[in-house]
Structure 1
């Protein structure tokens, strides 16, 4: 934010969880936003996620690489139009690795490439309840990139959705990475601050691009549609 008294600096929120403000510059944000707009178009485009209990998530989502649904992965948009999921481009996988190295150091970067992206769009009223990213086989760090409106990002503990947790303001261009002892920490978005996106970005609302490594060749979890080995 222009004219701040104290510049925002890199912060370790918990062991293994690091916030890097302003990691993506303005050009990088615009390029990522344009790509998100392409990915959001049908087929296998932006959709509303329905929960097993019959409710709906207030944020809308599109997936790359593999399609996430509660609580697993598929190669097609099984809870959308059924189309094959769009591929995750090499440049985005490389960005994920670069993000981990920037936040946690080169040794934290996984040997396998990032192969899944979940892109959530939040309007002014959208929220995300406390949850864990536990549907993957890999324990590689999760990479989160923010575009558009600022939000309150609540980062908790690995035991429950309750306290202790830390609220972090994520702004457009910010990076948040969590791995190691924080990999399965509960986290959520209790609030979005409408109208706070950079004026030159051209986005009303918030986009969050989350990168993960599936690791499904390493253990018992399978992808919907795969045949048992």
Structure 2
């Protein structure tokens, strides 16, 4: 047997587009600690399904941690320093989560990333995220770092306009996608989640999305 037959998945890096990189298994070893941190956040700020400005209920359940949390309601999309469900500040971002986001950003070519918001998304079977841009942040020079935990999903990564056929990227437990620079405002989403069972999360997928909101 040779090393070529069993490549080191921890070293797998895939350039998707200029400014966008897929880091295979980058968070795999730390996944238990990341999920423990998520559990602590959710105990203080439970998952909830928010409404879009148009009045539709989002299929993905969400929470946040850090100095800012992302919220959506009839008034629009925005970041808030407090959880609208409780009026209290969002839970602090666990150090292990923030450290992983910084290291992933640096690995993808964005050193110095200091996230102040982490969106925690829970996908159940059938849940999806339509193609959209992340443009509610004050400093669009900062990248987005997205961590996949639990059930596999198909990540859709398009271009700067909604038209065209996006890349369809299979993501599994521990994969991380980073995009910024020329790809910062590219459209992206998640195809409907297939049913399954994962030893780390049960019948769901957890997605951590780190941003610099302020």
**Post-superposition offset of 1:114:** 1.1
> What residue in structure 1 maps to residue 156 of structure 2?
154
Aligned counterpart, 1:29: 31
TM-score normalised by the chain length of structure 1 = 0.81
Q: CA–CA distance in 2 between the matches of 1:202 and 1:48?
A: 19
Structure 2, gaps ≥5 residues long: none
**CA shift at 1:45, angstroms?**
2.4
Any unmatched runs of 5+ in structure 1?
Answer: 217-229
* Structure 2 residue aligned with 1:224: none
**Residue aligning to 1:134:** 135
Tell me the distance in 2 between the aligned counterparts of 1:10 and 1:99: 11
Residues 1-229 of structure 1 mapped to structure 2, 5 A cutoff: 9-26=12-29, 28-42=30-44, 44-65=45-66, 66-70=68-72, 71-78=77-84, 80-102=85-107, 104-105=108-109, 108-110=110-112, 113-138=114-139, 139-160=141-162, 162-195=163-196, 197=198, 199=199, 201-214=200-213, 216=214
**Is the contact between residue 150 and residue 196 of structure 1 (CA under 8 Å) also seen in structure 2?**
no
Give how far 1:190 is off: 1.3
Alpha-carbon deviations, 1:16-67, whole Å to 9, x = none? 11111111234x111111111111123x321111111111111101111212
Question: C-alpha distance in 2, partners of 1:91/1:20?
Answer: 18
TM-score (norm 2): 0.87
C-alpha contact 1:109 1:140 (8 A) present in aligned 2: no
Aligned length in residues: 201
Moved more, 69-78 or 113-122: 69-78
1:11 is displaced (CA, Å) by: 1.1
Distance in 2 (alpha carbons) for counterparts of 1:141 and 1:156 = 16
Give runs of ≥4 in structure 1 deviating > 6 Å. Answer: none
Q: 1:33 to 1:90 in 2, by over 3 A?
A: closer
Deviation at 1:6, TM superposition (A): 7.7
